[in-house]
Amino acid sequence: MSIKDELEQIVEKKNVRDAAEDLVRYSRDLSLNPPGMPEVIVRPETSQQVAAVVRWAGTNNVPVVPVSSSTHFHGCTIPKQGGVILDMVNMNRILEIDEYNRKVCIEAGVTWRQLTEELDKRDMRVIMPLLPHPERSVLTDWLEREVPTNTVYDYGEPMQSLEVVWPTGEIFRAGSASVNGYPDSKSKGTNPSGPGLDFYRFVQGAQGTMGVVTWTNLKIESKPKIDNILFAAIDDLGRAQDFLYRILPRRIGQEVVLLNNVDLATILTDKWPDDFEKLRAALPAWTLIIVISGLLRRPEEKVAYEMEFLGEVMRNEFKDIALTDNLPGFPGIGKKLLSLLRKPWPKEVYWKNQWKGAAHSLFFIAKPSATPLYKSIVEEIAAAYGYALEGLGMYIQPIEHNRACHMEFNFFYDPECASEKALIKSLSCEAAKELLNSGAFFTRPYGDLAAINYERAGGYASALKRIKKLFDPNNIMNPGNLCF
Amino acid sequence: MANDRYDTPKKKVSFEVRDLNNFVYDMSRCIKCKGCYWVEHTYMPGIKYTTRCPSGTWNEFDSYQAAGKVRIGLAVAEGKFDWTPKLLEVIYADPLCGACDVGCKRNLDLEIGLSLEALRIKAVKDGAGPMPAHKKIARNIADTHNRFGAAHDSRKKWIDKGIGVAEKADVLYFGGCSASYTNNEIAQATGKVLNASGTPFMVMKDEWCCGNVLYSVGMIDEATEIAKRNIEAVKASGAKTLLTSCAECYRMWKVDYPKMLDIATADLGFDVIHLLEFADDAIRNGSVKPVRNVDLRLTYHDACSVSRLCDAWRPWKGERGWMGTIEPRYKRRRGAEGLYGQPRNILGAIPGLTVVEMPRIRENAFCCGAGRGTKEAFPDLARFSANQRLEEVREVGAEALVSACPFCKNNFSQAVEAHGEEVKVMDIAEVILASL
Amino acid sequence: MAIRKEAYKALESVVGSEFITDDPILCEGYRSGPGGYESATGYERVMTMPPGAVILPRTTEDVQKIVKICNRYKVAYVPYSTGFYGPRSHCHVKNELLIDMKRMRDFELDDKHWYAAVQPGVTYSPLQAECLKRGGYVVVGGGGAQVSVVANMICDGWSPLSLRIGFPHRRILGVEVVLPDGEILRMGSLAVHDDAFWGEGIGPDLRGMLRGYTGVLGCLGIVTKLALKILPFQPEELKPTGISPNTGLALPVNRVKWLNFQVPSKEAETQVMYEIGKAEIAGAVTKVPLFWRAIAKTEGKEEFWDEWGKESEETIKNFHIVRVLLIGFTSEAQMRYDEAVLNDIVKEVGGVQRPTKPIDQSWIKNADSAGMWLMCGAYVSVDYIIESIPHADTHGPTYAKLKARYTPPFMPDYGDPGWTMVCEAGHQGYSEYLVYWDPDEDTNPVDQFYVETSKMNIKDRYYTSLLGSHQPLYLTGPKYGPNYHEWLLKIKGEFDPAWICHPPVPLAHDEFVERAEWMKSTKDWETPDELPMPKW
Q: What pTM was estimated for this model as a whole?
A: 0.97
Listing DSSP states for C388-417 in one string gives -HHHHHHHHHHHHHHHHTTTTTBPP-TT--
Question: Which stretches of C111-153 are assigned E, i.e. beta strand?
Answer: 115-118, 136-137
Q: Both B240 and B355 in a single domain?
A: no
Compute the nearest-CA separation of C79 from chain B (Å): 14
pLDDT given at position C216 = 60
C384 pLDDT band, cuts 50/70/90, is: confident
pLDDT given at position C212 = 63
Q: Both B186 and B92 in a single domain?
A: no
Q: Calculate what percentage of chain C has a pLDDT beyond 90.
A: 78
Interface of C with A in 401-440 (CB under 8 A): 424-428
Q: Both B282 and B362 in a single domain?
A: no
pLDDT given at position C64 = 98
A481 pLDDT band, cuts 50/70/90, is: very high
Q: Which fold has domain C241-305+320-363?
A: Alpha-Beta Plaits (3.30.70)
Q: What is the DSSP letter of B349?
A: T
Compute the nearest-CA separation of C375 from chain A (Å): 32
Nearest alpha carbon to residue C172 among C147, C189, C192, C194:
C189
3-state SS class at C319: coil
- B161 domain-assigned: yes
pLDDT given at position C471 = 82
* For residues A289-306, average pLDDT: 98
Contact C48/B at CB under 8 A? no
Contact A179, A189 (CB under 8 A): no
Listing DSSP states for B151-214 in one string gives -GGGTTTT--TT----SS-SEEEE-HHIIIII-HHHHHHHHHHHHHHT--EEE-TT-----HHH
CATH number among 3.30.465.10, 3.90.550.10, 3.30.565.60, 3.90.1150.10, domain C107-232: 3.30.465.10
Q: Both B170 and B36 in a single domain?
A: no
Q: Both B18 and B113 in a single domain?
A: yes
Q: Mark yes or no for CB contact C84/B35 under 8 Å.
A: no
pLDDT given at position A326 = 86
Which residues from chain B sit within 8 angstroms of residue C130, using beta carbons?
46-47
Residue of B46, B71, B336 lying closest to C243 (CB–CB): B336
Contact A450, C176 (CB under 8 A): no
Q: Mark yes or no for CB contact B30/C36 under 8 Å.
A: yes
Residues whose CB is less than 8 angstroms from the CB of residue A45 and which lie 6 or more positions away in sequence, other chains included: A11, A12, A15, A90, A91
Residue of C25, C126, C439 lying closest to B63 (CB–CB): C25
Residue of C115, C187, C480 lying closest to A460 (CB–CB): C187
pLDDT given at position B8 = 82
What are the domain boundaries of chain C?
5-100, 107-232, 241-305+320-363, 375-468, 472-536
Distance (Å, rounded) from C-alpha B248 to C-alpha B213?
9
Q: Both B355 and B429 in a single domain?
A: yes
Closest-CA residue of C relative to B106 is C245
Q: Mark yes or no for CB contact C204/A193 under 8 Å.
A: no
Q: Both B95 and B192 in a single domain?
A: no
- B316 domain-assigned: no
Best residue in B3, B11, B41, B86 for a mutation probing chain C (most C CBs within 10 Å) = B41
The per-residue pLDDT for range B6-59, each reduced to its tens digit, is 678 899 999 999 999 999 999 999 999 999 999 999 999 999 999 999 999 999
More confident residue, C306 or C55: C55
pLDDT given at position C214 = 60
* For residues C10-31, average pLDDT: 98
Best residue in C1, C15, C26, C291 for a mutation probing chain B (most B CBs within 10 Å) = C26
Cis status, amide bond into B351, omega within 30 of 0: no
Distance (Å, rounded) from C-alpha A449 to C-alpha C273?
45
Domain end (from B129, B162, B183): B129
B133 pLDDT band, cuts 50/70/90, is: very high
Distance (Å, rounded) from C-alpha B83 to C-alpha B80?
10
Instruction: Specify burial of residue B285 (Cβ count, 10 A radius: 0-12, 13-18, 19+).
Output: exposed
The per-residue pLDDT for range C419-468, each reduced to its tens digit, is 899 999 999 999 999 899 999 889 999 999 989 999 999 999 999 866 66
Q: Calculate what percentage of chain A has a pLDDT beyond 70.
A: 100
Question: Which stretches of B11-144 are assigned E, i.e. beta strand?
Answer: 11-14
SS3 content of chain B, % helix, strand, coil (to 5): 50, 10, 40
Q: Both B263 and B169 in a single domain?
A: yes
Question: Edge-to-edge strands of the sheet including B271-274?
Answer: B201-203, B171-174, B241-244, B271-274
pLDDT given at position A156 = 80
Res C469 pLDDT > 80: no
Nearest alpha carbon to residue C480 among A182, A96, A215:
A182
Domain end (from B288, B323, B349): B288
Interface of C with A in 463-492 (CB under 8 A): 463, 465-467, 476, 479-485, 487-488, 490-491
Contact B45/C at CB under 8 A? yes
Residue of C113, C200, C461 lying closest to A367 (CB–CB): C113
Contact C292/B at CB under 8 A? no
Q: Both B187 and B210 in a single domain?
A: yes
The per-residue pLDDT for range C346-380, each reduced to its tens digit, is 999 999 999 999 999 999 999 888 988 988 999 98
Contact C395/A at CB under 8 A? yes
Alpha carbon separation from C433 to C236, C314, C385, C394 (Å, rounded): 35, 20, 9, 12
Q: What is the CATH number of domain C5-100?
A: 3.30.43.10
Contact C249/B at CB under 8 A? yes
Contact B252, B372 (CB under 8 A): no
Distance (Å, rounded) from C-alpha C487 to C-alpha C464?
18
Q: Which chains touch A (3 or more CB pairs under 8 A)?
A: C
Which residues from chain C sit within 8 angstroms of residue A295, using beta carbons?
279-280
- In one-letter notation, the amino acid at residue B92 is Y
The residue segments making up the domain with residue B102 are: 1-129
Give the domain CATH number at B416.
3.40.50.10700
What was the ipTM of the complex prediction?
Answer: 0.97
Q: Mark yes or no for CB contact C39/B87 under 8 Å.
A: no
pLDDT given at position A368 = 98
pLDDT given at position C468 = 62
The per-residue pLDDT for range A398-443, each reduced to its tens digit, is 999 999 999 999 999 999 999 999 999 999 999 999 999 999 999 9
The per-residue pLDDT for range A12-37, each reduced to its tens digit, is 999 999 999 999 999 999 999 999 99
Which residues from chain C sit within 8 angstroms of residue B324, using beta carbons?
301, 376-377, 438, 440
B2 pLDDT band, cuts 50/70/90, is: very low
Q: Both B378 and B408 in a single domain?
A: yes
The 3-class SS string of chain A reads CCHHHHHHHHCCHHHEECCHHHHHHHHCCCCCCCCCCCCEEECCCCHHHHHHHHHHHHHHCCCEEEECCCCCCCCCCCCCCCCEEEEHHHCCCEEEEECCCCEEEEECCCEHHHHHHHHHHCCEECCCCCCCCCCCEHHHHHHCCCCCCECCCCCCCCEEEEEEECCCCCEEEEHHHHCCCCCCCCCCCCCCCCCCCCHHHHHCCCCCCCCEEEEEEEECEECCCEEEEEEEEECCHHHHHHHHHHHHHHCCCCEEEEEEHHHHHHHHCCCCCHHHHHHHHHCCCEEEEEEEEECCCCHHHHHHHHHHHHHHHHHHCCCCCCCECCCCCCCCHHHHHHHHHHCCCCCCCCHHHCCCCEEEEEEEEECHHHHHHHHHHHHHHHHHCCCCHHHEEEEEEEECCCCEEEEEEEEEECCCCHHHHHHHHHHHHHHHHHHHHCCCECCCCCCHHHHHHHHHCHHHHHHHHHHHHHHCCCCCECCCCCCC
Which residues from chain C sit within 8 angstroms of residue A483, using beta carbons?
203
Average pLDDT of chain B is 96
C1 pLDDT band, cuts 50/70/90, is: low
Distance (Å, rounded) from C-alpha C81 to C-alpha A25?
55
The per-residue pLDDT for range A56-101, each reduced to its tens digit, is 999 999 999 999 999 999 999 999 999 999 999 999 999 999 999 9
Instruction: Specify burial of residue A181 (Cβ count, 10 A radius: 0-12, 13-18, 19+).
Output: exposed
Q: Both B93 and B159 in a single domain?
A: no
Q: Both B359 and B220 in a single domain?
A: no
Q: Mark yes or no for CB contact C494/A250 under 8 Å.
A: no
Q: How many domains, in total, are found in chain B? A: 3
Q: Which chains touch C (3 or more CB pairs under 8 A)?
A: A, B
The per-residue pLDDT for range A183-211, each reduced to its tens digit, is 999 999 999 999 988 999 999 999 999 99
Give the domain CATH number at B186.
3.40.50
Q: Mark yes or no for CB contact C206/A184 under 8 Å.
A: no
* Pick from A469-483, B125-139, B422-436, C382-396: least confident: C382-396
- B71 domain-assigned: yes
Residue of B3, B31, B42 lying closest to C247 (CB–CB): B42
The per-residue pLDDT for range A425-436, each reduced to its tens digit, is 999 999 999 999
* For residues C66-93, average pLDDT: 95
Touching chains B and A? (3+ Cβ pairs < 8 A): no
Beta strand C239-241 pairing with C248-250 = antiparallel
Residues whose CB is less than 8 angstroms from the CB of residue B143 and which lie 6 or more positions away in sequence, other chains included: B149
pLDDT given at position C413 = 85
Most confident of A164-168, B417-421, C297-301, C382-386: A164-168
- B212 domain-assigned: yes
Instruction: Name all domains of chain A by residue range, CATH numbers in brackets.
Output: 3-89 (3.30.43.10), 92-222 (3.30.465.10), 226-437 (3.40.462.10)
Best residue in C102, C124, C131, C243 for a mutation probing chain B (most B CBs within 10 Å) = C243
Interface of B with C in 281-340 (CB under 8 A): 322-327, 329, 331-332, 334-336, 338, 340
Q: Mark yes or no for CB contact B6/C39 under 8 Å.
A: no
* For residues B328-356, average pLDDT: 97
Exposed e or buried b for every residue in C477-499, given b needs 16+ CB within 10 A? Answer: bbbbbbbbbbbbbebbebbbebb
Res B224 pLDDT > 80: yes
Res B1 pLDDT > 60: no
Touching chains B and C? (3+ Cβ pairs < 8 A): yes
Q: Mark yes or no for CB contact C300/B71 under 8 Å.
A: no
